[in-house]
Amino acid sequence: METLINLSNGMLTAVDPFNLGIMLIGLTVGVVAGALPGISFVNAMAIALPFTYMMTPLSSMVFLGGIYAGGVFGGSISSILINIPGTPASLPSCWDGFPMTKRGESSRALTIAISASATGGVASALLLTFGAPPFAQFALAFGQPEFFAATVLGLVSIIAIAKAAPWVSLLSLFIGIVVGSVGIDPLYGVPRLTFGIPGLQSGINFVVVMIGLFAFCEVLEMLAKSTHGSVKDGKARFKLPSFRDFWSVKGSAARGAGIGCLIGMVPGAGATVGAVVAYGIEKQVSSDGAKFGTGVAAGLAAPEAAKNATTGAAMIPLLTLGIPGSAATAIMLAALVLHGVTPGPLLFATQTDMVYTIFASLLLANVFMIGAGVLVARGFSSLLKVPPTVLGAFIVVMSVVGAYGVRNNLFDVYVCLFFGIVGYVMKRVNFPTAPLVLGVILGPLAERYFLTSLANYDNDIGIFVSRPISASILAFALVFVMWSLIPDAIRKTRRGLRQAA
Amino acid sequence: MIDLYRMQREKLVGMLAPVLFIAGAILLTGFVDENPERTAEMTRGTFGPTAWPSYMLYGVIFFAVGWLLQDVLTAYWKARVARKDVAGKTEATAQPRVSDVLEVRVLIAIGVIAAYGYLIPLIGFAFATLLFFLIWFVLGGIRKPRLIGIVSVAGTLFMLYLFVKLAAMPLSRGEGVFGEWTVALYQFLKVF
C-alpha cells in the first residue's frame, strides 16, 4: 500500500510539465539515436550527460531514463525497415522483422515491435517499482565492507558481457580502474600517476573518458567507413498500431517480458543477451518455431519485449546497490554521482520522492514510447538522408563542448580526444571498451569503500571475509570470475588439443 | 619447448599487445608516487594512497600475462597443426593490420579535432566551430560548396543557441580581435 502511495506521489511529480517535457525530449532523442545506425543511444546518453549539469538530479535521471527507454526500442526501426540493427540488442529483430518488411508488412512489423517493446518496458518498470524497495530494505544491513564487496561484484560482472574473451575483459577493467585512480587521492592528498602534469592532478573525469570512448570513437569509425551520403532509403508507409496485431502475439510478448525482466536484473547481462535468449526460447516454445527467420510475428515480439524489459530491471541493482549492469546504466550512475547522489539502500529512505518519481517516469516513458516510436518510424526515411559526415561533425562539436564543460578545462578536451583514439583502436582490434568505462566509474568508488572499511576496522584486511554478507558477495564474485575464466581456458585447451590431434 | 619460429608472424605481432601492457604496467608501478618516502612516513605501514593503484597495476600485469599465455598456447597448437598439414593449407588468422586500424583519413580527422580544441581559446568557439565544420565536411567527402556553406553556418548558429543561449556555458570568445568579433556576433544574434 505504501508503495502505491509513493508511486502516485511520484507520478504527480513525473507529470510536472518540466519533468514530462524533458522525459519526452529524452525519449525522442533516444528513439532517433537508436534508429540511426552508427549512433547508438549509449553515445547519445554520453553526449547528453554534460547537459544534465544544469538540471536537478531527478530531472537528469528522468531525461537519461527517457533516452534509455527510447533508445533500446529505437534500434528496431532500422532493423525492421533496412535490416541494419541500430543497436546490438536489435539484432534479433532483423531476423523476423526484415522478412516481414520484404513481404510488404513493414507497418505490421513496426506495430508489433512498438507494442511488444512497450509491454516489456511497462512490465519491467512495475517490477522495478515493487521489487526494488524490498531489496533496498535488505541492503540497509550493508556496511562499508558490504558496499565494497557489492562494488567488486559490479566490477567483475562486466565479464559476463564479453564471455568470449574474459582475460581481455578483466585486463580492460583493471586498466579502467588504474585510469580512475589517477590524480590526488581523497584521503591523504597524495598525487598518483600524475607524472608532474598539473592537468592530471584533479584526476581523469569519467564523463570525459565516456565521451571519448563512445562518441569520438564512433565518429572516427564512421569516417573510416567513408560513408557519406545516405545509408539506405527506408520506404515505410506507417499506420497507427492496431490492437489486433498486438493481441496476436500477446503470449510471445509476455514470455519475452518475463525473460527480459529476469535477465535484466543480472548485472552485465543487458538488453542484447535478453533479446537473444528470448528469441531462442520463443523458437523452442512457439508452434511456428521451425519457421522463425522467415518473418514470424512471434519471433519479432519476444525479443522486442525482452530487450525493453531489461531497462527497468537493470535499474534495480543500479539504484539499490549502485551496480550498473550495462554501459547505459553506468552513464545513469555517472549522472547520479555527478549530482552528489550516492545510489544504494539509503537512497530509498532519504530520497523516496526522487526514487518513486524515477519509477513513475520510466512507466510513463514506456507508454509514451508508442507515440515517439510512431513519429520516428514515420520520419525515418528523411532521417536516413542526413549524411553521416554531417552527423559526425555535430557529434564532435557536442563532444568537445561536453568534455570542456565538465570542468571548463581545455585539458579535458585533449584527454577526451586521447580516449577517442584509444577507443577507436580498441574497437578495431576487438578490445572491449565497456569494462574500461566501468572501471573508471566504479574504481574510485571501490577504492573509497576499501579504504574507509579498513579505517573503520583497524586496518584489518580480514574484515571483508569475516562478515557474512560481505564474504558471501565476494565469494559470489569469485565464483563469477572463475565461471568465466575456467570454462574459457578449458574450451580453448580442448580446441587446441583437438586441432593438434 | 614452444617453437616460436613456427608461429605466424602476424600472431607474434598480435602477442605484442599483452607484452606492451605488461611492460607498461611494470613501468607505471615506478610512477605511482612522486615521493614514496614521504608517503611511507605518512601511512606508517597501513594501506596508504598508493596501495590501490599499485594493486590494480599488478592486476593489469596478471591478466595481461594470462592473455599472453593463452595466445602463446593457441599459437603453439596452430603451429603443430600447420606442421602436420602436408599441403600447408591451414587458414591464416585474420589479424588486423596497422594500416587497417589507423587510416590516413582517420589520422587527419584526429588532427582536425585536436586543432579544433586548440583553436577554441584562440579564435573563440563560434569561429573555431565554423572553421571546423567547413574542413570536416570537405574531409568527409561532401563536394557541394553551397551545401557545405549552408550547413556549416546553420550548424554553428544552432550550436551557439544551444550552448551559449540555452545552456549558458562559459565558452571561450577568443583572444584579441577574435574576442571583439565574437562579442559583436553574439550581440547581433542576441545570444549574449
Q: Per-residue pLDDT for A237 more than 60?
A: no
- What's residue B149's pLDDT? 92
Q: How far apart are CA B135 and CA A321, in angstroms?
A: 47
Residue A183: its H or E element: strand A183-184
In a domain, A234, yes or no: no
Percentage of residues in chain A having pLDDT higher than 70: 87
Q: Which residues of A touch B3 (CB under 8 A)?
A: none
Which among B50, B81, B132 has CB closest to A397?
Answer: B132
- C-alpha radius of gyration, chain A, whole number: 22
- What's residue A233's pLDDT? 42
Mapping DSSP onto H, E and C, the string for A293-326 reads CCCCHHHHHHHHHHHHHHHHHHHHHHHHHCCCCC
Q: Which residues of A touch B167 (CB under 8 A)?
A: 51, 54, 405
DSSP 8-state code for residue A184 = E
Chain B contact probe: residue of A182, A187, A190 with most B CBs at under 10 A: A190
Residue type for position B27: L
Judged by a CB distance cut-off of 8 A, whether residue B13 touches chain A is no
More confident residue, A251 or A160: A251
In a domain, A23, yes or no: yes
- What's residue B152's pLDDT? 93
Residue B61 has which C-alpha cell?
A: 600485469
Give me the sign of the Cα torsion angle A23, A25, A27, A30: negative
Chain A contact probe: residue of B144, B163, B164, B173 with most A CBs at under 10 A: B163
Domain range for A183 is 2-229+250-500
In a domain, A437, yes or no: yes
Each residue's pLDDT tens digit, A190-234:
889 888 888 888 888 877 887 888 778 878 877 776 544 444 444
Task: Decide if A190 and B39 are in contact by the 8 Å CB cutoff.
Answer: yes
Whether A179 contacts B17, CB under 8 Å: no
Each residue's pLDDT tens digit, B88-116:
444 444 455 555 555 778 888 888 988 99
In a domain, A235, yes or no: no
Confidence of residue B24 (pLDDT cuts 50, 70, 90): very high
What's the full length of chain B, in residues? 192
- Least-confidence region, from A237-246, B48-57, B66-75: A237-246
Each residue's pLDDT tens digit, A98-124:
888 878 888 888 888 888 888 898 888
- What's residue B39's pLDDT? 79
Judged by a CB distance cut-off of 8 A, whether residue B19 touches chain A is no
Judged by a CB distance cut-off of 8 A, whether residue A228 touches chain B is yes
Strand stretches in A172-212, DSSP E: 183-184, 191-192
Task: Decide if B80 and A405 are in contact by the 8 Å CB cutoff.
Answer: no
In a domain, A236, yes or no: no
More confident residue, A354 or A91: A354
In a domain, A152, yes or no: yes
- Least-confidence region, from A290-294, A322-326, A332-336, A493-497: A493-497
Q: What mean pLDDT is predicted for residues B70-82?
A: 75
Percentage of residues in chain A having pLDDT higher than 90: 3
Q: Which residues of B touch A395 (CB under 8 A)?
A: none
Q: Per-residue pLDDT for B37 more than 70?
A: yes
Domain boundaries in chain B? 4-99, 104-189
Residue A194 has which C-alpha cell?
A: 600524475
Query: DSSP of B67-93, one letter per residue?
Result: HHHHHHHHHHHHHHHHHH-SS--PPPP
In a domain, A275, yes or no: yes
Chain A: closest CA distance from residue B188 (Å): 22
ipTM of the complex: 0.81
Residue pointed to by grid coordinates 519476444: A302
Confidence of residue A125 (pLDDT cuts 50, 70, 90): confident
Q: What mean pLDDT is predicted for residues A360-374?
A: 85
- What's residue B26's pLDDT? 93
Q: How far apart are CA B165 and CA B168, in angstroms?
A: 5
Each residue's pLDDT tens digit, A256-307:
888 888 877 766 556 777 787 788 788 878 888 778 888 888 889 998 998 8
Query: Residue A72: which of A47, A98, A91, A48 has the closest Cα?
Result: A91
Chain B contact probe: residue of A148, A167, A447 with most B CBs at under 10 A: A167
Q: Exposure of B5 by Cβ count < 10 A (0-12 exposed, 13-18 middle, 19+ buried)?
A: exposed
In a domain, A243, yes or no: no
What's the full length of chain A, in residues? 501
Chain A: closest CA distance from residue B157 (Å): 12
Task: Decide if B59 and A167 are in contact by the 8 Å CB cutoff.
Answer: no
- What's residue B92's pLDDT? 45
DSSP 8-state code for residue B33 = B
Q: What mean pLDDT is predicted for residues A312-339?
A: 82
- What's residue A375's pLDDT? 80
- Comparing alpha-carbon positions, the chain B residue that sits nearest to A420 is B110
Query: Residue A42: which of A10, A18, A82, A75 has the closest Cα?
Result: A75
Q: Which residues are within 8 A (CB) of A65 and not within 5 positions of it... i.e. 6 or more apart?
A: A23, A26, A332, A358, A361, A362, A365
Residue pointed to by grid coordinates 524515477: A358
- Least-confidence region, from A76-80, A404-408, A431-435: A404-408
Q: What is the pTM (predicted TM-score) of this model? A: 0.72
Task: Decide if B113 and A400 are in contact by the 8 Å CB cutoff.
Answer: yes
Could you give the C-alpha distances from B179 to A409, A480, B169, B182, in angstroms and in order? 18, 57, 16, 5
Residue A446 has which C-alpha cell?
A: 571501490
Residue type for position A229: G
Q: Per-residue pLDDT for B43 more than 80?
A: no
Each residue's pLDDT tens digit, A451-501:
888 888 888 888 889 988 889 988 988 887 887 777 666 766 666 666 666
Confidence of residue B153 (pLDDT cuts 50, 70, 90): very high
Residue A241 has which C-alpha cell?
A: 498500431
First to last CA, chain A: 66
Q: How does the average pLDDT of chain A come out, rounded? A: 81
